[in-house]
Amino acid sequence: MFPPLTFSRGRLPPWRVGAIALGAVLLALALVTRQTETPPEAHVVPLSEALDGSTFALAVPTAWLGTPAIGVRPRDRIDLIAVRPGDRASGYPVAYDLRVMSSDDRALIVQIDEASAIAVALARSSGMLLVPLLQSAR
């Protein structure tokens, strides 16, 4: 047998036993403190409380949009233009100065008044697509 490949059945030195015990205690302490930490909760305001008085929230599906609303963020202001595609293309503004409440890949949620909501519904029911125009922040 080769001497470096053999193991003796001797006892571990006391400093190794102490180092192993200290490591086990620190690992257990780290696991216990990690499990008790809770992430801070974000302050979420319900949509109904974020709306101004006498306004409504309208979810405009992205399928209704003639162009994507890329780069639109909450609190941005947009106008909606209704366009009729085809040989006799036409378009007209249906809603002005709408505040964006949220935007994702499925819907654009805007704050809208009653008259503008009716105009959007009428434009959509006649087969028109909606084009959002982002207003300048300045």
Alpha carbon separation from 57 to 20, 101, 129 (Å, rounded): 62, 8, 19
For the purposes of burial, counting CB atoms within 10 Å of the CB of 60, is it exposed (0-12), middle (13-18) or buried (19 or more)? Answer: buried
Q: What is residue 88's predicted lDDT score, i.e. its pLDDT?
A: 83
The string over 64-98, giving b where at least 16 C-beta atoms fall within 10 Å of a residue's C-beta and e elsewhere, is: bbeeebeebeeebbbbbbbbeeeeeeeeeebbeeb
Q: Enter the DSSP assignment of 42.
A: P
Identify the band that residue 50 occupies on the pLDDT scale cut at 50, 70 and 90.
Answer: confident
Dump pLDDT digits (tens) for 5-45.
666 666 767 777 888 888 899 888 888 777 655 667 777 78
Per-residue tokens: 137: 């922040």
For the purposes of burial, counting CB atoms within 10 Å of the CB of 113, is it exposed (0-12), middle (13-18) or buried (19 or more)? Answer: middle
Count how many residues are written for the chain. 138
Dump pLDDT digits (tens) for 77-122.
999 999 988 888 888 999 999 999 999 999 999 999 999 999 999 9
Residue 57 has pLDDT above 60, yes or no: yes
Q: What is the DSSP string of 57-103?
A: EEEEEGGGBSS--TT--TT-EEEEEEEE-STT-EEEEEEEEEEEEEE
Q: What is residue 5's predicted lDDT score, i.e. its pLDDT?
A: 63
Q: What is residue 8's predicted lDDT score, i.e. its pLDDT?
A: 62
Q: Is the whole model's pTM more than 0.85, yes or no?
A: no
